[in-house]
A and B are shown apart, each in its own frame.
Chain A
Amino acid sequence: MRNLLFQQRFTVAAFAILSLLMIAGYSLFSITLSKTSFASGTMLLICIFILASYQLRKTFSFLSIGSTSAWLQFHIFIGLFSCLLFALHIKFRIPNGFFETLLFFSYLTVFLSGVIGWFLSRSVPYRLSSRGEEVIFERIPIHRRNILDKVESLVFDNQDSAASKAIPDFYQKHLQAFFAGPSNLMRHILHSERHRHHLSQKITAMKPFLNEQEQITMQQIVELIQQKDDLDYQYALQALLKLWLFVHVPLTYSLILFALFHTIAVCAFASTSG
């Protein structure tokens, strides 16, 4: 724990020092007649390539070139640093031209999705471990199916024709859709438990009308409801962890292409030696 704290402080200090050095260097460079945009642009392009190389690191995971965790830390570090460079490069203004505006928004989207991903990767695992059983995301449909089978077995198996049809009716009316697939995803993401509260109220209202056996069955169903809800919670948050990459990664490819084209155009048209 102490090492982790030291590492965090070291990273923040290193980032602050590097940023200050870069801003100071840029300021000194900008008071000359040299074109600062070329310097900041070159550094920014290098940063983008370094950031994109993280994806390669994940692809070639068998290579011993540092742990993924260390690479992620470096990825975040360079990502934040690139934002500072980007701001200096565009001189804190939204560009005017069509292509440069496109490039501007591409970078901004990739950066902001990265920041969101960083936030999610820091907050979601903690929330996942705090509720329900941690499951593999790809297996969640299987677990959902198992729970469904168990519930339907409790509801419909060994059903005496003379017995009350309260539980099957209740199941069909209030629980069938709940168990059939993922539900209340947005509520889970927002950490809301209102849906469980509503369901609990309905079950509580129904219980006085159940006989002893039915009450035992209902109690087992309630436990399965809890398990299914926890599974949905896991599903919602794990999906969130995976879906932000659908914005971050594809747009990175676009950004690299735009940046390369921009570099060639700028070097050809903006008088390189000026």
Chain B
Amino acid sequence: MTEPLQSFDWKSSNYERPKDGWVCGRVCESGAPCRLGPSSKGECQLQSRCQPAEKGGRYTCTRSVVNGGKCKEGPAADGTCCQPESDCQPRRSLLAKRRLLGIFAAMIAGTLCLISFNRFTASTLLTPGKVTKSHANLESNCSACHTAAEGGLTTWIHTAFDGEAALKDSALCLKCHTEMGENALFVHGVSTDRLTEITEQIQAKSEITSTPFALKFAAFTGHPATNHQLACSTCHREHHGRESSLTHLTDLQCQTCHTRQFESFEHGHPSLEDYPYERRSRIYFDHAAHLNRYFVKDEFKRTMPNGQKPASCRSCHTPDATGRIMLTGSFEKTCASCHEPQIEDVEFPGVPFFAIPVIAPSMIQGQGEWPNTQGTFQTAKLPQFMELLLANDPQYQNAIEQLGDLDYRKLNNTIPEHHAAVAEIAWAIKKLLYDITNQGEAALKQRLKNRAPEYLNLSPSIISTLSQAQQIWFPNLSTEMKNHLEKKPILNEPKEQNQEQPCTLPVNKTNGWHLSEADFTIRYRPIGHADPLIKGWLDQVIQTKTESLDDSNMWRIFSNPTASGTEASNGALASGRCLLCHSVDENRENGTSTINWLPFRSHQSEEQFTRFSHAPHLITDQKNNCVRCHQFEKSVKEELQTLQSDYFTRNQTNLFWQINRNSRQTCTSGFQPISRQTCVTCHNKTTATQSCLKCHKYHTHDLTVTSD
């Protein structure tokens, strides 16, 4: 039985101090430590080299018990200690070594942090990962996306506590992404007021469904908006690798902000309402009449292009370059074969631009010749173009002021006191003709520049036709004008007219202008589809007379559903007028209106929350697969529905048709709204193609649509 190694008797046991920084060197080397141990500074405190004491001629060891007591060997004969080299070099304790290692590790860590903080290396050392391909060229330039990168550590700390730092960083994003519009940082890119309005509309329409469990709890976490604004980084998370998606969001993430939440598109998604018919189509087209009558009955076959009836919807509609939108084919390809003759409309005499009113010779005695002394004048006013040209003529204005409530149909019935005023009107019209004949374009500019300069650019020009008219109707106009200006007497020798053979110049096929001596009128008849003069004139009319459009003669003519026919014979003639096909939209905010000349606008400015791509839905081996989704409204009569009340209404006098300018009115193109269930047959849980982002887009102002 061996003796125990250690004794805990207080006399024979040292008091260990493991937390001291130093330990005796002798304990490490030989296992024979002194009892004092080293000092706190690591110095040996042991004085083991004792001073032997002489007593009676003999030297005795004087080493204390603390230092190990008297040694066995004792002092040498000369009185020197036998253990002269017993002091040691203390060593660091384990704890001290660990502390040193800790300090060393902290220093290395601090150095690495400082190296990382260095702006020359920060981009490579601090970056949490590669950015996407589209941002790769910015990767080495942190300050392109982070405001904090502009400054040092102080800026970093300041930015870290800045509540709007994310919005400031987002402003850097918008330097490049300018297509997001001015409200880019607001939710969905629309203003707060507009969003509230949209939300209220949706809440009013959609039925209440059960909210998924997870979304109920997620509602407690709140939304990450700052002052109603969302930072770009809320959804777009960068530094996840070159191939990562910046736009990937889960359905639940989309829904957490929404007030109406549901499980999936298949279960609980609100109905599609009138989608995609939330607004009236830009071109009025009666699909039911065409598909059920014209494209079916043989009597119309001869009018089809090359005698071929359209085989399917895609004969007229083709996907655009992106495959998203089905563009309507051009007029020439799809409509012209049937409707071009109606636009040319040989029975339509044309729009009067210049007319000589009926004035009896007695009323302009001594004022020169006046061609139109007999017959009747058709309208109470002069043609609009003439009125524009005479608007700045002070003599004319003075004359009509004298005449008061002037009706040109009753000009010959004016009292004798007003004959001078009538003569002034005659001279104003002559002067107008004279100026334009002699000065041409310059005279037009002079007369229109202050009143309606926008009409100057319309073509083809009326000038040459007016010159012709002057030569025919006023052959002595130069002499008359000279005498009139010099206040010389003018012989009143009216030209004898051949009433049986009035001079009527044929319509110029490339010009459209023609003059009629039967009623002394210059008219313009459209030379075909998209006639530049009529198109330009209507655009000007709608911009200058939005409040009283229906009073405009031009407007009435080209929005008259009966064209040159009558209401009883509207039929096929109905498509011969511009505004029978091209709808008119009124902007409620600024009161302006626009004519939709193209099926789609070149640039969409409206909010677009949804998107749909037609191309993937078109199955090539099925000609008429469009009708799987676009089904005819059952209530629509199969008979022709030309005068759709959604497009045209009677005016207050019940004499004229008015165009409905409510752009947000539900479309009546003859199709049923698309049912959500139709979509669900393909977009469901099984096919895993029902994510929100499949059909909805967050940014509502970044869509660009091209038109053919």
Contacts and interface: CB of A to CB of B under 8 A. Distances in A.
Given A28-B217, A267-B159, A133 B148 contact: no
A268 interface: yes
Contacts of B548: none
A257 interface: yes
B164 interface: yes
B5 A242 contact: no
A271 B161 CA distance: 10
Contacts, number: 189
B98 interface: yes
A96 B253 CA distance: 25
Interface in A66-119: 95-100, 102, 106
* Chain A interface residue bracket vs B: 35 or more
B218 A264 contact: no
A250 interface: yes
B23 interface: yes
B307 interface: no
Given A31-B215, A34-B224, A143 B2 contact: no
B2 A227 contact: yes
A250 B98 CA distance: 7
B127 interface: yes
B159 A274 contact: no
Nearest to A58: B19
Nearest to A29: B221
Interface stretch (B27-35, B295-303, B431-439): B27-35
Interface in B275-325: none
Contact of B224 (A28, A33, A96, A102): A33
A245 B128 contact: no
A261 B118 CA distance: 13
Interface stretch (A7-15, A134-142, A167-175, A196-204): A134-142
A248 B471 CA distance: 111
A45 to B, nearest CB: 13
Contact of B159 (A32, A261, A268): A268
Nearest to A271: B166
Interface in A16-54: 27-29, 31-35
Interface stretch (B231-239, B448-456, B571-579, B598-606): B231-239
A269 B148 contact: yes
Given A271-B231, A273-B226, A274-B234, A102 B112 contact: yes
Nearest to B214: A31
Contacts of B129: 95-97
A268 B231 CA distance: 14
B158 to A, nearest CB: 8
A271 B569 CA distance: 69
Chain B interface SS verdict (over half): helix
A264 B156 contact: yes
Contacts of A249: 98, 101-102
Interface in A134-184: 135-139, 141-148
A245 B98 contact: yes
Given A31-B252, A138-B23, A253 B105 contact: yes
A40 B248 CA distance: 22
B105 A145 contact: no
Contact size class for B? Answer: 35 or more
Interface in B116-136: 116-117, 124-130
A264 to B, nearest CB: 5
Nearest to A181: B31
Given A257-B106, A274-B231, A268 B5 contact: no
A272 interface: yes
A28 B157 contact: no
Contacts of A251: 105
Residue of A33, A242, A254 most packed against chain B (CB within 10 A)? A33
B69 interface: no
Contacts of A265: 116, 126, 156
A236 interface: no
Most chain A beta-carbon neighbours within 10 Å: one of B16, B112, B220, B221: B221
Contacts of A28: 214, 217-218, 220-221
A237 B541 CA distance: 101
Q: Which of A27, A99, A136, A226 has the most CB of B within 10 A?
A: A99
| A contact patch SS | helix
B532 interface: no
A237 B664 CA distance: 85
B235 A33 contact: yes
A216 interface: no
Nearest to A132: B5
B687 interface: no
Contacts of B4: 133
A33 B230 CA distance: 10
B109 interface: yes
Given A96-B130, A100-B128, A133-B4, A142 B31 contact: yes
Contacts of A273: 163-167, 224, 226, 231
B484 to A, nearest CB: 80
Given A31-B218, A145-B31, A253 B224 contact: no
B2 A139 contact: no
Contacts of B153: 264
Nearest to A242: B94
A223 interface: yes
Given A32-B221, A144-B31, A268 B109 contact: no
Contacts of B2: 223-224, 226-227
A27 B127 CA distance: 26
Contact of B116 (A99, A252, A253): A99
Interface in A224-274: 224, 226-227, 231, 242, 245-246, 249-255, 257-258, 261, 264-265, 267-274
Contact of A143 (B5, B97, B217, B221): B5
B610 to A, nearest CB: 20
B101 A261 contact: no
A246 B6 CA distance: 28
Query: 4 smallest A-B Cβ distances: which pairs?
Result: A145-B31, A267-B160, A271-B166, A96-B129
Given A28-B221, A272-B166, 11 more contacts: A95-B128, A98-B125, A142-B33, A245-B98, A246-B98, A250-B106, A257-B109, A268-B165, A269-B142, A272-B165, A274-B234
25 contacts: A32-B256, A33-B224, A33-B234, A33-B235, A33-B253, A95-B129, A98-B116, A106-B109, A135-B5, A138-B18, A139-B6, A141-B27, A142-B32, A223-B1, A223-B2, A252-B102, A253-B109, A257-B110, A261-B113, A264-B160, A268-B155, A269-B142, A271-B169, A272-B160, A273-B166
Interface of B: 1-2, 4-6, 14, 16, 18, 23, 27-28, 30-33, 94, 97-98, 101-106, 108-110, 112-113, 116-117, 124-130, 142, 146, 148-149, 153, 155-157, 159-167, 169-170, 214-215, 217-218, 220-224, 226, 230-231, 233-235, 239, 241, 249-250, 252-253, 256-257
